[in-house]
């Protein structure tokens, strides 16, 4: 059966969303992509590309980035996008065929479809400390300054390194944005944005109570050098959810899209495609809680009941037969559901807790 609401490529493997951005009247979603098979492929990892005007209906476009030069022969990996002077810049982690070191590169597009890799790539060649983990560039603008976060970690402690730039091409190291042993050995797939009177920061990598990769959300203060959380939250409970990224829409909303799958999900080598994106969600902060709820453009798809979802005033149980329990405990004010063939997204209390499940695998 086909996926109706969750975008997936027509063929091949996909994982992390990359470079989510509004540009030239459309939403652009890039993503990690192996166009040749339904499983990852190190030397062929590319940036797939899709566009939408309403965040529900997506059109797949030609591949935006593919391994081409010596510095990215082992793949064009996760990154981000930003618009400057009506030109689209995409930043990605490149891996060299010679030493397999993780470095950072940039490509530039005038039309949002055709990209030219910068002649000075890689723009960041070495991490600020001795570590093999130096990836997933996340670029944002605060005031007149551009900031880049890099996923990293050392000695079992996850770190996000911070860089500054005035022109998006020359970057200076600014220090450790945040480090925390509780966030896993590597702070993966960071996202960072000004929001209200504070800042939103999100990262993946740490494990949840079932030993699966989890995504953590924080809201706090940023002084140009480091980030100090005021509140932390994990609204996304998975278990089929990882490596999300958020971006700012033209109307100021912070919109999140994640990868609807997991690295340990069995791969069917005969499948035409593998992996999809979550429904886009708006991030809000209320009553010291960070919430994730479908964007207004998708709310007509929501229902209040499903045969597998049982609701009481203090518990929501999702009867999937999955090997880990899928249940929410606490006051239940509202539950809405998005069903899509074999996929299910359950939103509790306006997105205080969200469960994303692939119902086909029930072992």
Taking each continuous run of H as one helix and of E as one strand, the counts in the chain are 0, 28
Alpha-carbon distance of 207 to 276, in angstroms, equals: 22
What's the CA gap between 360 and 343, in Å, rounded? 8
In 3-state terms the chain splits into helix, strand, coil percentages (rounded to 5) of 5, 55, 40
- Cβ atoms 106, 56 nearer than 8 A: no
CA-CA distance, 287 to 277, in Å (whole number)? 28
Let me know how long the chain is: 363
Nearest residue to 186 (alpha-carbon basis) of 158, 154, 162, 208: 158
Task: List active site positions.
Answer: 16
- Any idea which residue has 């192996």 for tokens? 34
Token digits of residue 214 = 């989890």
Residue of 109, 153, 115, 121 whose CA lies nearest to 134: 153
Give me the residues paired with residue 55 across strands: none
Phi-psi region of 116 (alpha: psi -120 to 50; beta: other; left: phi over 0): beta
């Amino acid at each position: 059966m086909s996926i109706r609401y969750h975008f997936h490529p027509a063929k091949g493997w996909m994982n992390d969303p990359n470079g989510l951005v509004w540009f030239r009247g459309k939403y652009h979603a890039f993503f990690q992509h192996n166009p040749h098979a339904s499983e990852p492929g190190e030397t062929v990892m590319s940036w797939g590309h899709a566009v939408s005007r309403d965040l529900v209906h997506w059109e797949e476009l030609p591949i935006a980035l593919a391994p081409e030069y010596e510095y990215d022969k082992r793949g064009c990996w996760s990154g981000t996008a930003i618009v400057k002077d009506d030109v689209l810049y995409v930043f990605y982690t490149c891996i060299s065929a010679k030493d397999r070191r993780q470095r950072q590169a940039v490509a530039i597009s005038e039309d949002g479809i055709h990209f030219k890799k910068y002649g000075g790539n890689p723009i960041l060649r070495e991490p600020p400390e001795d570590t093999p983990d130096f990836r997933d560039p996340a670029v944002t603008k605060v005031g007149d300054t551009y900031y880049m976060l890099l996923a990293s970690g050392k000695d079992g402690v996850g770190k996000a390194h911070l860089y500054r730039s005035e022109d998006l091409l020359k970057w200076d190291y600014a220090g450790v944005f945040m480090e925390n042993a509780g966030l896993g050995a590597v702070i993966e797939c960071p996202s960072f944005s000004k929001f209200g009177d504070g800042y939103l920061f999100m990262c993946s990598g740490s494990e949840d109570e079932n030993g699966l990769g989890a995504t953590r959300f924080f809201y706090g203060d940023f002084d140009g050098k480091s980030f100090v959380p005021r509140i932390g939250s994990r609204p996304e409970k998975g278990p089929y959810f990882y490596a999300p990224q958020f971006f700012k829409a033209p109307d100021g909303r912070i919109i999140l899209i994640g990868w609807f799958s997991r690295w340990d999900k069995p791969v069917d080598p005969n499948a035409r495609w593998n992996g999809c994106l979550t429904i886009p969600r708006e991030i809000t902060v209320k009553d010291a809680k960070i919430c994730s709820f479908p964007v207004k453009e998708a709310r007509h798809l929501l229902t209040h009941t499903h045969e597998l979802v049982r609701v009481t005033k203090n518990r929501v149980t999702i009867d999937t037969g999955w090997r880990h329990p899928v249940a929410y405990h606490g006051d239940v004010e509202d539950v809405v559901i998005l069903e899509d063939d074999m996929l299910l997204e359950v939103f509790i209390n306006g997105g205080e807790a969200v469960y994303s499940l692939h119902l086909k695998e029930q072992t």
